[in-house]
Chain A
């Protein structure tokens, strides 16, 4: 085979490889969940403990490859808060599963004391499963160690 043919073949292979790699990076950038879902999300749910209904408000902030989840549970004038960072474990076509790290619970004991609602102590956020519904809406299901799993529909409030 002539040398110039070999050169052209080599250039074709290199070009195809480089442009394919570049295209792949563009695809991953365009489909990066942190970019797609960047911003603040909010949704309301409810927890039933016995006959008492506790209003639950979830707030999620996606920013710079970091997802922070905050859940505020409120009964009358009393509330307690769960906080944690979401770490992506598995991503599927329209759903994702996260572990929750750096978890903090604030005000739970005071809440129990004031409301006499028997929220299991030692409960904490465990995992979060999320499904993309339609544009600007995510269904999330927050699993807690005390069995009080709470789903929310988060809607986008701002772009971050």
Chain B
């Protein structure tokens, strides 16, 4: 839906409000956009007030590069009256042999609030870029939302599957040189262990009062107890 609004400057003519910038007229709360020729004619009437706008001026202003017959001008005035709902010709008066004049003095309205309503009844505008953007916007929002959801899903799946949220117990075995120490040993305890670095690989477990030191000999594990 196109947005109609009265853009400054806004003229109050009788009960009407008119914006020559946007060619929008408000009549009893209803907004509509005038056709280009009607808009220009109405603006000329406003600018000319209180003088009479002659047919010659209308032809020179509205048909600069062409010509207009009396019938053409009559038709344009009739269309403008119809758009302004001035059927009884009280707003735009015909001055015989001279031209046309507004019956009410146009006044600039500074305090008029901008109004937004639906599609105009008459318009010459083609669908604009902003209208296309309006229809495309919901689609792009959906795509963005789906993308976000996918990213969140993949990220939370990957993080969970990698075990980030799982509390891992402390490792209690460690290699000290080539020896396996199968308990939590302090640095001091490690250096005091009854093993030497140049010996064959030892596997050491700790018990209440002794270490069990094992080594492999031809595939068989043999152990000895060493008291603290």
Choose among A11, A21, A129 the residue that contacts B160 (Cβ–Cβ < 8 A): A21
B219 contacts A by Cβ under 8 Å:
yes
A141 contacts B by Cβ under 8 Å:
yes
From 1 to 33 in chain A, residues with beta carbon under 8 angstroms from any chain B beta carbon are 4, 8, 11-12, 15-24, 26-27, 30-31
Whole-angstrom distance between the alpha carbons of A24 and B203 in the complex?
34
Interface segment, B2-10, B83-91, B95-103, B150-158? B150-158
Whole-angstrom distance between the alpha carbons of A151 and B220 in the complex?
10
In this complex, what residue of A is CB-closest to B168? A93
B197 contacts A by Cβ under 8 Å:
no
Flag if A20 contacts B165 (CB, 8 Å). Answer: yes
A147 → chain B, closest Cβ, in Å? 11
Flag if B145 contacts A15 (CB, 8 Å). Answer: no
Interface segment, B13-21, B65-73, B169-177? B169-177
Flag if A46 contacts B220 (CB, 8 Å). Answer: yes
Flag if A27 contacts B182 (CB, 8 Å). Answer: no
Flag if A91 contacts B160 (CB, 8 Å). Answer: no
Q: Which residues of A contact B163 (CB under 8 A)?
A: 27, 31
Flag if A92 contacts B161 (CB, 8 Å). Answer: no
Q: Which residues of A contact B149 (CB under 8 A)?
A: 8, 11-12, 15
Q: A23-B161, A133-B180 are in contact. Are A141 and B205 (CB under 8 A)?
A: yes
Q: A26-B160, A151-B203 are in contact. Are A92 and B169 (CB under 8 A)?
A: yes
A114 → chain B, closest Cβ, in Å? 22
A39 contacts B by Cβ under 8 Å:
no
SS class, residues of chain A in contact with chain B: mixed
Q: A139-B180, A151-B212 are in contact. Are A19 and B221 (CB under 8 A)?
A: no
Q: Which residues of B contact A131 (CB under 8 A)?
A: 173, 180, 182
A152 contacts B by Cβ under 8 Å:
yes
From 175 to 228 in chain B, residues with beta carbon under 8 angstroms from any chain A beta carbon are 180, 182, 203, 205, 212, 214, 216, 219-223
Q: Which residues of A contact B156 (CB under 8 A)?
A: 15-17, 19-20, 23
In this complex, what residue of B is CB-closest to A129? B205
Choose among B153, B166, B168, B205 the residue that contacts A19 (Cβ–Cβ < 8 A): B153
Flag if B173 contacts A19 (CB, 8 Å). Answer: no
A72 → chain B, closest Cβ, in Å? 14
Choose among B153, B168, B170, B171 the residue that contacts A16 (Cβ–Cβ < 8 A): B153
A99 contacts B by Cβ under 8 Å:
no
* 8 A-B residue pairs with CB within 8 Å: A8-B145, A19-B157, A19-B160, A20-B159, A23-B162, A92-B171, A94-B173, A133-B173
Contact surface of A with B, Cβ cutoff 8 Å: 4, 8, 11-12, 15-24, 26-27, 30-31, 43-46, 55, 91-95, 129, 131-133, 139, 141, 149, 151-153
A-B interface, 10 closest residue pairs, ranked by CB to CB distance from nearest: A23-B160, A23-B161, A19-B157, A23-B157, A19-B153, A93-B171, A92-B169, A20-B156, A26-B161, A44-B220
